[in-house]
């Protein structure tokens, strides 16, 4: 990451993925977030300006037609090529001080996007992985039609399953306000690892929790004794979340063997792997994987709470816990 003078620092820039099914309120949420002081110094990547309702926010445009400065102080980047090209361009333009400094990036996906492809794009290119890191996945859920979309479309079910944060939108349109609690309970069963927040009431504290991973604080993971996280929840598409605890240091060779088995045997079914493992050097590392691609483990520079130590979450499609346990035994 570069500081405000353009010099290079060793920490990669955090990238947040904002996803959600068609009509779930992603752009409305983004428009609100970028006007909050907590989201100042943010670069937003979108596919093209014409499809995003941010036009009324545009006040200044640089000499590069794909970079626009919003009146909130945030940068908006229209992705004309690949995601890797857009990230590289932002990195070097910031370094050369051709654009204002930014501390984080938010990528807004299309409603039918599979988050796995974007996660792979961030972690799959070594040059990109050195400069950027996935800090969290934020998924918007329409309180009116969200569950119907999740039941009907695999993309919506996947967006829910891989989320770190779920933002309920359109709750003000519910005829029965008590339905919010039932909806939260249903979503917590489907994804026991995500924090659920109400979009219209998202305050400074809630936004702070969205950004909690920017300083390497490991996210809260449920204890293995939690029955929900043990059994997961099988969607219509067989999407299940499993939590394992590795209660001993892991040697690098064993970790490499486990990754190899997950890639070779379960890569197509692995929607997301995330966790905090103690390695043989005694330090804790954040590990991430999607399908066949695993990012290099990232050393955590902060204390890790006891319940987070050795926690490994595997979100899979049509894989039994027994199959995963056979692979976990390698660790």
Location of each CATH 3.30.1220.10 domain in the chain: 227-328
* pLDDT values of the chain reduced to their tens digit, one per residue, 331 residues: 444 444 445 689 999 999 999 889 888 888 888 888 888 889 988 764 444 444 334 333 444 556 666 666 677 776 666 888 889 989 999 999 988 899 999 998 888 888 888 888 887 788 888 899 999 999 999 999 899 999 889 899 999 999 999 999 999 888 887 889 999 999 988 888 899 999 877 777 888 888 875 444 444 444 433 433 433 445 667 888 888 999 999 999 999 999 999 999 999 999 889 889 999 999 999 898 989 989 889 888 778 888 788 999 898 988 999 999 999 999 9
Q: In CATH, what is the architecture of 13-215?
A: 3-Layer(aba) Sandwich (3.40)
Location of each CATH 3.40.50.300 domain in the chain: 13-215
Q: Which phi and psi (to 5°) does residue 210 adopt? A: -60, -35
**Number of residues assigned to the chain:** 331
| 310 conformational bin, left if phi > 0, alpha if psi -120 to 50, beta if neither | left
b/e sequence 138-158, b meaning 16+ C-beta within 10 Å? bbbbbbbbbbebbeebebbbb
> Measured between alpha carbons, how far is residue 94 from residues 29, 90, 120 in Å?
26, 6, 23
CATH no., domain 227-328: 3.30.1220.10
Q: Which residues pair with 273 in a beta bridge?
A: 289, 314
Residue 39 · residue 33 · CB < 8 Å: yes
Residue 153 · residue 21 · CB < 8 Å: yes
What value, to the nearest 5°, has the Cα angle with vertex 205 and ends 298 and 302?
Answer: 25
pLDDT at 246: 93
Residue 242 · residue 229 · CB < 8 Å: yes
**What's the burial of 303, exposed, middle or buried (CB within 10 Å: 0-12/13-18/19+)?**
exposed
């Amino acid at each position: 990451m570069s500081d405000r003078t353009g010099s290079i620092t060793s920490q990669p820039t955090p990238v947040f993925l904002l996803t959600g099914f068609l009509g779930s309120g992603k752009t409305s949420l983004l428009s609100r977030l970028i006007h909050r002081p907590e989201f100042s110094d943010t670069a937003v990547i979108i596919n093209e300006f014409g499809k995003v309702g941010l036009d009324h926010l545009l006040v200044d445009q640089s000499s590069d037609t794909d970079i626009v400065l919003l009146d909130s102080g945030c940068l908006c980047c229209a992705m004309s090529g690949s995601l890797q090209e857009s990230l590289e361009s932002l990195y070097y333009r910031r370094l050369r001080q051709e654009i204002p400094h930014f501390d984080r990036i938010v990528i807004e996906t299309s409603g039918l996007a599979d988050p796995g492809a974007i996660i792979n794009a961030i972690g799959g290119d070594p040059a990109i992985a050195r400069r950027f890191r996935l800090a969290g996945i934020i998924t918007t859920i329409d309180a009116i039609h969200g569950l119907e979309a999740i039941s009907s479309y695999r993309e919506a079910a996947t967006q829910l399953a891989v989320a770190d944060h779920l933002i309920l939108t359109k709750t003000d349109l519910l005829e029965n306000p008590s339905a919010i609690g039932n909806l939260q309970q249903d979503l917590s069963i489907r994804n026991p690892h995500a924090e659920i927040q109400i979009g219209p009431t998202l305050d400074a504290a809630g936004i702070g929790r969205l950004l909690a991973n920017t300083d390497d604080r490991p996210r809260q993971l449920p204890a293995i004794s939690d029955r929900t996280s043990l059994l997961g929840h099988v969607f219509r598409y067989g999407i299940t979340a499993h939590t394992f605890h590795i209660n001993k240091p892991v040697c690098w060779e064993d970790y490499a063997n486990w990754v190899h088995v997950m890639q070779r045997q379960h890569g197509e079914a692995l929607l997301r792997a995330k966790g905090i493992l103690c390695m043989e050097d005694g330090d804790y590392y954040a590990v991430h994987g999607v399908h066949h691609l695993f990012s290099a483990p990232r050393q955590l520079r902060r204390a890790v709470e006891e319940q987070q130590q050795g926690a490994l979450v595997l979100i899979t499609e049509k894989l039994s816990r027994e199959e995963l346990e056979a692979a976990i035994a390698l660790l």
